[in-house]
Amino acid sequence: AQSVAQPEDQVNVAEGNPLTVKCTYSVSGNPYLFWYVQYPNRGLQFLLKYITGDNLVKGSYGFEAEFNKSQTSFHLKKPSALVSDSALYFCAVRDNVNTDKLIFGTGTRLQVFP
Amino acid sequence: GAGVSQTPSNKVTEKGKYVELRCDPISGHTALYWYRQSLGQGPEFLIYFQGTGAADDSGLPNDRFFAVRPEGSVSTLKIQRTERGDSAVYLCASSLGTGPDTQYFGPGTRLTVL
């Protein structure tokens, strides 16, 4: 079965420090991977996606993600965290078997402390 | 341009009542998706439209749930005989096409069944 795992419920980081939010996946065929961010009482905002090509994908708000095929991972990173980055982050993979639906992880809450 | 819009933003109803949730996708987007997000969870797929037809409704939990998209644009998710377990945030997303195209999400409708 295709799935996504986000092993950390919460990540705490000090402002200005680098951050990493982890994601691993299991899919049939080539993976299409996505990161979304959710602020309180708001919908999901698209950050970035990996389809093919460069393993390092750059996205919105200074975020980037590294695709690692051998480790089946797609970790979200940012060199210098901001307090305003505090939010809920979701990793997702496209279902290659059935339709184009997204399969989401359970989310990781990022807390950036001043 | 305008993003995905959903109405109402909040809906409170009593157990056993019928509700309709509306989604207005981004103009020109042919694919439309409904997801449901329970507290502390990632979004879960409900149904996917390509144009006017439901390409995949495998995520609908039971026959109380139904969705339509009669003109290939606006979609309505209909829930009959609501139960307390239906309480969740219902998210709609649209994409230009299918495959790896990015799904853009609306702000969601928070449904509370008393």
Tens-digit pLDDT profile for residues B29-63: 999 999 999 998 999 999 999 989 998 999 999 99
Q: Which residue type does B62 have? A: N
Instruction: Give the Cα separation of B73 and B49 in Å (integer).
Output: 10
> CB of B20 within 8 Å of any CB in chain A?
no
Read off the DSSP letter of residue B84. Answer: G
Indicate yes or no: CB of B42 within 8 angstroms of CB of A45: no
Report chain B's mean pLDDT, rounded to a whole number: 94
pLDDT value of position A28: 83
3-class secondary-structure state, position A62: helix
Print pLDDT tens along chain A (114 aa). 789 999 999 999 999 999 999 999 998 888 899 999 999 877 899 999 999 889 999 999 999 999 999 999 999 999 999 999 999 999 999 887 667 889 999 999 999 999
> CB of B112 within 8 Å of any CB in chain A?
no
> Chain A interface, mutation test: which of B48, B60, B95, B98, most A Cβ atoms within 10 Å?
B48
Nearest CA in chain B to A34: B102
Looking up tokens 């694919």, which residue turns up? Answer: B31
Q: Please list the alpha-helical segments (H only) found in chain A.
A: none
Instruction: Give the Cα separation of B69 and B49 in Å (integer).
Output: 7
pLDDT value of position A98: 64
The minimum CA-CA distance between A43 and chain B, rounded to whole Å, is 4
Q: Which residue type does A71 have? A: Q
pLDDT value of position A58: 96
* Contact assessment for residue A35 and residue A22, using Cβ atoms and an 8 Å cutoff: no
Which residues in A lie closer than 8 A to residue B31 (C-beta atoms)? 100
pLDDT top residue among B68 and B40: B68
pLDDT value of position A84: 94
Instruction: Give the Cα separation of B46 and A101 in Å (integer).
Output: 9
pLDDT value of position B1: 59
Nearest CA in chain A to B47: A101
**Residue B20 forms beta bridges with which residues?**
B78
Kindly state the greatest CA–CA separation across chain A.
44
* Contact assessment for residue A32 and residue A51, using Cβ atoms and an 8 Å cutoff: yes
